[in-house]
Structure 1
Amino acid sequence: MTDLRHYQTPLRQTPFHPRTSAANRLHAWAPWAGYATVQTYDDLAMEHSAIRNAATLYDLCPMIKYRIEGTDAAACLNRLTVRDADRLAVGGVHYTVWCDDAGHLIDDGTLFRLAPDRYRLCCQERHLPWLLDSAFGFDVRITDETGEIAALALQGPTSAVVLRAAGFDIDTLKPFRMAEFPFAGGHLTISRTGFTGDLGYELWTTPDLALPLWDSLTDAGALYGLRPVGSEALNIARLEAGFIIAGQDFTPAPHCLREDRLRSPLEMGLGWLIDWDKGQFTGRRALLRQRERGPHWAFVGLEIEGNVAAEGAILYHNRKTEIGVITGACWSPTLKTSIALAQVKARHAKGGNLWAEIYALRELHYARMMMPARVVARPFFNPTRKRQTPPGKL
């Protein structure tokens, strides 16, 4: 029977909600893919500090997850995405993107190969109609399994120690690989992946084991600075890592109302992902043409003078010619500098005489500042510990 009072709780609660709501001292909630998710639990600075100096838990349940399985699963994904899904080993993970026929970005995400004929695609936006249309003619089944999985990110330099203390032997687990472990009468999959650019893991289980998993990790992490973090701290960490987000750093093609807002993988600095030799994939011909003539836009990392976050700032060349926009920015507590990600005209991708027009709120009035900006390599923060196998022991 339909719940006639559903309007009172318009957002779904994740399997971890009893724990995240109890810890959310600020009651700072925001919607993510139809779920209520925490923005900041109690102290943003301390949450970010834990990502870089201890260990953190982040509720990943709202992230969209699709199961793609069948004898043609690899062939279907090769037609859909720009990377070669057939070359991804079982137990492996890779980052990928997919486009429309015109080569414009639809979304990015991570692809997990769970078995020879079964994959999981995780992403920001919902794409089931697109995926089903793209699967026409392939022997493949595509299922939205978002609600069937409880997912948790365990990130930070002590994350491996926490997992060891919880009884999981992850010493041989390499970056972008996953392994399965027994847990509480069920199973737990641990992948060495994450969105912080640091040592970290993502944990995948069934909703009925969500609370036992949370409690097991918090008990094991009590001596190692483990704390839950919200999306605001994660956003600072992902900016330091130079990672992009659909809907913030680029507008997904199906959402674009203005033709000049469409972007391709080449224009977003993602050309290195494209496997040109694997055969036809959606958008390949358009991307080949763009590669030949050169992209109109580029995506760059910036360091900006001053200590005011430059999010949304317009970029100028020589203080007068508009050449781009900053899509994400923050004052980096780790690097002690103002950093940003930006879309710029391709001819300005190497920088030189760039200025950011920043409006800073000063006691109810905005102060306009023109601050010098310098193009720098991404990632801004790239610690060796995220690649070490086995991870360092404290």
Structure 2
Amino acid sequence: MRSPLPRDHFRKPLLQTPFHPRIAALMQAEDWSNWGGYVSAHTIRDAEQEYFAIRNAASLFDLTPMVKYRIAGPEAEAFLDRLTVRDVSRLAPGRVQYTAWCDDDGHVLDDGTLFRLGTAEFRLCCQERHLNWLLDSAIGFDVEVAEETAEVAALALQGPTSRALLTRAGFDGIETLKPFQIRDVWFKHGKVTVSRTGFTGDLGYELFTAPEAALPLWDRLWEAGAWHGLQAIGYEALDLARLEAGFIVANGDFVTAETAIRVDRRRTPDEIGLGWLIDEKKPAYWTGKRAIQAQRRDRSACWCLVGLDIDGNVPADHAIVYHKGKAEAGQITAAAWSPSAKRNIALASLRRPYGDTVKDDLWVEIYALRELAYHKMMVRARVVDRPFYDPPRRRATPPAEF
């Protein structure tokens, strides 16, 4: 199998995506990070301005380092039905499915999006690399599995003006694209696969193309974006938007089963809020089914991942959650003051029954830095539904003009 990395990749500490020249030219903060072995922008100019571009105009984020697998062959559907917890036979060509997959003990290996590009061709996108697991799981199936991360350049175009921007850029008919739907668009330099998906909980699209067409695509969007408030953004702004949407991040809000060192750090779908994905009635057996069914039958799930509304305006980053201010109930996995929801929000992993049947009298221990000294605060927290912020434009078809 061909390696997704060039032979001399070790000569560079981090790889550069096809869009890197454009992002580097815009970079003012010099705030870079490592995302899956690639140079990725954490903040380009100002994280606050980049966040408001997501919510009030349009934003462009380099999605290329997201791990991508091509899965194709006569038994691709059967293989994915065995691999994932959802019924892939119900996923029509030209549609996208949010999904997850588990090990034999029912612990989550990762979550991601499954694109059905054709009758027997799929693209699986996720946070972590799982090629060995996918290849082992594919034994006995007439299917080909290959990582194509370096072979597919990707952008996330998100925000209320994103649809109008695509129309101005010549993406005819894009207004009819429904959420979780895919469409191929051709332009001078090649094909662009556009999906109405994203990680911001807002109106938005993801665009996939060949590396050689990456810069022309960026330039085309950038030129059209001058009319629609387009800004290039880094991960810090995206991370705030995804928290407002209530989305979780692998090895951030939960530890994937392959990377967990301690056994008690692994989680089943029901323990990280992904139980709704499970289709127990689908005909095919899926990996982890028996363990998850046994956990549900015995009501033995130990954890739950919940949204919290916290008093005050000091983010409770990685704070400990207590019941009645004394009994330790769990820990915050992500927290921020939400500019759009005007709330102090958080995601928390709590040990049941806290967050499940016991939701009252929860407190969060926050250490706030004030005048070079940390002040301990115990503030009240309430379990609330997610998402924290959910604009109607996210689902409207056609999207309104902005």
TM-score by length of 2: 0.96
Tell me if 1:315 matches 2:318: no
Distance 2:394 2:337 in 1: 22
Q: Is the 8 A contact 1:315 1:324 kept in 2?
A: yes
What is the rounded CA distance, in whole Å, between the counterparts of 1:366 and 1:125 in structure 2?
Answer: 36
Residue 162 of structure 1 is matched in structure 2 by 165
In structure 2, how many angstroms separate the alpha carbons of the residues matched to 1:188 and 1:128?
25
1:364, distance to aligned residue in structure 2 (A): 3.4
Partner SS, residue 39 of structure 2: strand
Determine the C-alpha separation between the residues in 2 that align with 1:341 and 1:374.
Answer: 11
Partner of 1:51, secondary structure, is helix
Q: Which residue of structure 2 aligns with residue 13 of structure 1?
A: 16
Cα RMSD (Å) of the superposition?
1.2
> Which residue of structure 2 lines up, in the alignment, with residue 225 of structure 1?
229
Residue 286 of structure 1 is aligned with which of 291, 295, 298?
291
Q: Deviations over 1:318-350 (max 9, x none)?
A: 000001111001111111221000111221225
Secondary structure at the counterpart of residue 223 of structure 1: coil
Q: Tell me how far 1:368 sits from its aligned partner.
A: 1.3
Q: Structure 1, residues 272-326: CA drift from partner, whole Å, max 9, x if none?
A: 1011012311100000011112221111000111111111001000000001111
Give the 3-state SS of the residue equivalent to 2:43 in structure 1.
coil
- Which position in structure 2 is the counterpart of 1:330? 336
Contact kept? 1:38, 1:230, Cα under 8 Å: yes
Alignment match of 2:153 (pick from 127, 136, 150): 150
Report how many aligned residue pairs link the two structures: 392
| Paired position in structure 1 for 2:379 | 371
Q: State the alpha-carbon separation in 2 of the partners of residues 65 and 366 from structure 1.
A: 43
Alignment of 1:102 onto 2:110 = no
Is structure 2 residue 396 aligned with structure 1 residue 388?
Answer: yes
How far is the alpha carbon of 1:2 from its aligned partner? Answer: 6.5
- Greater CA deviation, 362-371 or 171-180? 362-371
**Alignment-derived partner of residue 362 in structure 1:** 370
SS of match in other structure, 1:348: coil
Q: Is the 8 A contact 2:189 2:216 kept in 1?
A: no
Q: 2 CA distance for matches of 1:338 and 1:193?
A: 26
Indicate the residue corresponding to 2:193 in structure 1.
Answer: 189
**Shift in Å, 1:85:** 1.2
- Structure 1 segments of 4+ aligned residues over 6 angstroms from their partners: none
Indicate how the Cα distance of structure 1 residues 2 and 287 shifts in structure 2: closer, same or farther if over 3 A, else same. closer
After the TM superposition, which residues 126-141 of structure 1 pair with which residues of structure 2 at under 5 Å, given as runs? 126-141=129-144
Contact 2:82 2:285 in 1 (8 A): yes
Distance change >3 Å, CA 290–CA 18, structure 1 → 2: same
Q: What is the aligned partner in structure 2 of residue 91 from structure 1?
A: 94
Letter in 2 for 1:190: V
In structure 2, C-alpha distance between the alignment counterparts of 1:146 and 1:32, rounded to whole Å: 12
Q: CA deviation at 1:6?
A: 4.4
Gap regions ≥5 residues in structure 1: none
Given that 1:184 and 1:209 are in contact with CA atoms closer than 8 Å, whether structure 2 keeps it comes out as: no
Please list the CA deviations of residues 239-289 of structure 1 after superposition, one character each: whole Å capped at 9, or x if unmatched.
000000001000000111111111100111111101101231110000001
- Whole-Å separation in 1 of the counterparts to 2:297 and 2:188: 55
Alignment partners' CA distance in 1, 2:193 and 2:312: 43
* Alignment match of 1:252 (pick from 249, 252, 256): 256
Distance 1:159 1:346 in 2: 41
- Tell me if structure 1 keeps the 8 A contact 2:77–2:120: yes
Question: Counterpart in 2 of 1:348?
Answer: 354
SS in 2 for 1:254: coil
CA distance in 1, matches of 2:335, 2:298: 30
In structure 2, runs of 5+ residues without a counterpart are: 1-5
User: Which residue matches 2:175?
Assistant: 171
Mapped partners of 1:318, 1:2: distance in 2? 57
Alpha-carbon distance in 2 for matches of 1:56, 1:10: 28
SS at match of 1:393: coil
Q: Give the AA of the match of 2:381.
A: A
Say whether residues 1:299 and 2:305 are aligned partners.
Answer: yes
For residues 219 and 2 of structure 1, the distance between their equivalents in structure 2, rounded to whole angstroms, comes to 35
Aligned equivalents of 1:121, 1:226: Cα separation in 2? 28
Query: Is the contact made by 2:194 and 2:208 (CA closer than 8 Å) also made in structure 1?
Result: yes
Shift of 1:72: 0.6
| Secondary structure in 2 matching 1:18 | helix
**Rounded Cα–Cα distance in structure 1 between residues aligned with 2:342 and 2:154:** 32
Q: Distance in 2 between matches of 1:45 and 1:2?
A: 39
Q: Within the alignment, does 1:79 sit opposite 2:85 as a pair?
A: no
Q: In 2, are the aligned partners of 1:355 and 1:370 still within 8 Å (CA)?
A: yes
Give the letter aligned to residue 223 of structure 2: D
1:83, distance to aligned residue in structure 2 (A): 0.5
1:111 lines up with 2:119 in the alignment: no
Partner amino acid, structure 1, of 2:361: N
